[in-house]
Amino acid sequence: MAELNTEAKLKKQLKQEKIQLWNPPYTDDQDGEPGRQHMQELAERYAPLLGLPVEEVGGALEAIRVQAVKRGKGNKTFRESNVATLELLLPRDGKKDPKTKNHLETRLDVLVQEVVDRIGDEYGLKYIKLILNGKTLSVDQRLDEQGVKNHSKMMVLKVSDAEWKQQLSEEEEKKKNQDESVQRTQKGFQILSERDGSEDPDSTPFLEIADQRGNPLKIPHEEKKALILAMGFHEKGRSLMKKKQFDNALFKQATQGPCSAPKPGMLDFVNKVKWEAWKSLGSISQDEARQQYCDLIGSLVAAEGGSSAQVSAQPAASGTTYETLLVTTEDDITTIKLNRPAKKNAITTEMYNEIIAALEQAAKDNSVITVFTGAGDFYCSGNDLTNFTKIPEGGVEQMARRGGDLLRKYVKAYIDFPKPLVAVVNGPAVGVSVTVLGLFDLVYATERASFHTPFTQLGQSAEGCSSYTFPRLMGGAKASEMLLFNKKLTAAQACQLGLVTEVFPDSSFQSEVWTRLKAYAKLPPNSLALSKQLIRSVEKQRLHSVNEAEVQSLVERWQSDECFNAVMSFFQAKSKL
């Protein structure tokens, strides 16, 4: 860690002075050897700045130089021969020191199995799997098909004998499960296609064929049934690819209620994934699960865009459809629901963009109030940490700059939102989903909710204007406890400190909150919007400058070793489960 910090500081200094260690006079053009005298002079100049011995600084500078030369050579080789250089993060007890960087040269159009075998031979590791951006690479697909690029960083993890065997039979198991899942879909769609909406649609969902504006189409009964089944199968294919076990979990919740089955054993991977997906739905009711199941299928079909008809769940979602959100308008309320329950609604780059678009849409539509909430048992687990592992060609700096631009725009959308904005916090909330709460007009929380901003733990700093709104809401000392020292608040504590408006018992949370919101949405819309804008106008400029300062700090933090190491240990811990 100490060496990493020294290297980070040196890199910053070199960048400021625009010194390129991979070029003369620091590196010989011909043989890539160091320009010893210039390197020594640099070490002597930097040592007092860092308060470290010259030898130590010299060693760190040389390590940076070697990496840079290697990277430069790698780029040249890739351009000339298509041979990429990948960085490997090895397990701690591998043959080589995991702290030194290990590289592997390979073409990207080869099967992952080939690379696994090579790494196994070279580093004396028997059973391993490769992880990129938090995902295990399939051995029977090519590297480039799974997003591996020149300079990608891949984590090498050892797997046990049993897990190895399990992996081999997993494909077979997956296929069997998919077949069963398709049969369930057929059954589900058959039932749904028989219904025509004549029963109570609140308790008996049905599917409607509608045009792109959501107007139901009149189609003879038998043809409608056939069309619904065909579209169901078509969507099933897509959704199987997309959301793994979540449809299965929703189906179970809808038909059997909350998960009470014991957790499968650690090595029973397939059933564990299913169990976790089911468990993640928490205590949501069977009716809610049924509705979500229909919404999910409806949103997938509509997202296809190419077909002239769509299957829409009742009540129909209005306007644009999204991949990661469920956006509906009903009773003059537009609801934006984060819809990645299997990942605790962690916000991906795509999701940030969709939320910005959904807020823009809600600002313009006819609704009176806009509500933000989460699907499943979590409100939101904050920034999706895999966002940090998707390093673009321009490197970490480019990733950080792009991330900063997106965050600035995201928070701006909340600051400028012109109508009353309400958070319905249906479960635990983490990170950016907590910090932007200071920009909401009402925050209703279930007693199960908690509020956690573990920024310093992740080597990061506060965002969402919380460095301003939190001290203003709760006082400096309490705000620091959250933003500096990562204190997690219960719903009751958050309410006491003014971050939450009111806390409700979990069993009556949805019904109490929605009854109240529906009543509020009947208030005169212009008066509501103008009052909100008056309150916001007093500090709008200040909020924009706070947003800017927070983004700048984070762009620096995202390039730090502290942040990189924290994110990597999150995924490493997960992979070892």
Phi then psi for residue 326, to 5 deg, are -115, 115
Residue with smallest beta-carbon separation from ligand COA: 431
Q: Is 257 left (phi over 0), alpha (psi -120 to 50) or beta?
A: left
Smallest distance, Å, CB 22 to ligand COA?
A: 34
Smallest distance, Å, CB 455 to ligand COA?
A: 6
Nearer to ligand COA among residue 235 and residue 377 (C-beta): 377
Could you tell me which stretch among 78-86, 208-216, 378-386, 395-403 binds ligand COA (CB under 6 A)?
378-386
Kindly state whether residue 341 participates in binding ligand COA, applying the rule CB under 6 A.
no
Smallest distance, Å, CB 157 to ligand COA?
A: 13
- Whole-number Å distance between alpha carbons of 84 and 149: 7
Nearest to residue 101, comparing CAs of 561, 571, 545, 576? 561
Strand-pair partners of 310:
210
Kindly state whether residue 427 participates in binding ligand COA, applying the rule CB under 6 A.
no
Query: Is residue 87 a contact partner of residue 151, using CB atoms and an 8 Å limit?
Result: yes
Residues numbered 21 to 60 that lie near ligand COA (CB under 6 A) are none
Nearest to residue 289, comparing CAs of 510, 512, 113, 449? 510
Give the residue, chosen from 235, 247, 295, 384, that forms a contact with ligand COA under the rule CB under 6 A.
384
CB count in 10 Å sphere of residue 542? 12
Residues numbered 435 to 494 that lie near ligand COA (CB under 6 A) are 454-455, 458
Could you tell me which stretch among 210-218, 381-389, 518-526, 541-549 binds ligand COA (CB under 6 A)?
381-389
Strand-pair partners of 374:
338
Nearest to residue 20, comparing CAs of 58, 55, 68? 68
Smallest distance, Å, CB 347 to ligand COA?
A: 8
Ordered alpha helix ranges (H), 244-315:
246-256, 269-279, 286-304
Smallest distance, Å, CB 452 to ligand COA?
A: 8
Kindly state whether residue 383 participates in binding ligand COA, applying the rule CB under 6 A.
yes
Give the residue, chosen from 36, 103, 176, 574, that forms a contact with ligand COA under the rule CB under 6 A.
574
Window 284-323: contact mask with ligand COA (x via CB under 6 A):
----------------------------------------
Nearer to ligand COA among residue 292 and residue 383 (C-beta): 383
Angle between helices 161-194 and 269-279 (to 10 degrees): 50
Tell the residue number behind the tokens 């697909």, with chain if given. 141
Nearer to ligand COA among residue 437 and residue 521 (C-beta): 437
Smallest distance, Å, CB 72 to ligand COA?
A: 33
Kindly state whether residue 343 participates in binding ligand COA, applying the rule CB under 6 A.
yes
Give the residue, chosen from 74, 188, 382, 403, that forms a contact with ligand COA under the rule CB under 6 A.
382
Kindly state whether residue 137 participates in binding ligand COA, applying the rule CB under 6 A.
no
Smallest distance, Å, CB 66 to ligand COA?
A: 33
Q: Are strands 421-425 and 442-446 parallel, antiparallel or unpaired?
A: parallel
Q: By rule CB under 6 A, what count of residues binds ligand COA?
A: 15
Give the residue, chosen from 250, 302, 346, 489, that forms a contact with ligand COA under the rule CB under 6 A.
346
Phi then psi for residue 157, to 5 deg, are -120, 140
CB count in 10 Å sphere of residue 492? 13
Query: Where are the strands (E) in 375-474, listed by range?
Result: 421-425, 429-430, 442-446, 450-452
- Whole-number Å distance between alpha carbons of 511 and 513: 6
- Whole-number Å distance between alpha carbons of 443 and 423: 5
* Three-state secondary-structure class, residue 28: coil
Which residues of the shown chain bind ligand COA in the complex (CB under 6 A)?
Answer: 343-344, 346, 381-386, 430-431, 454-455, 458, 574
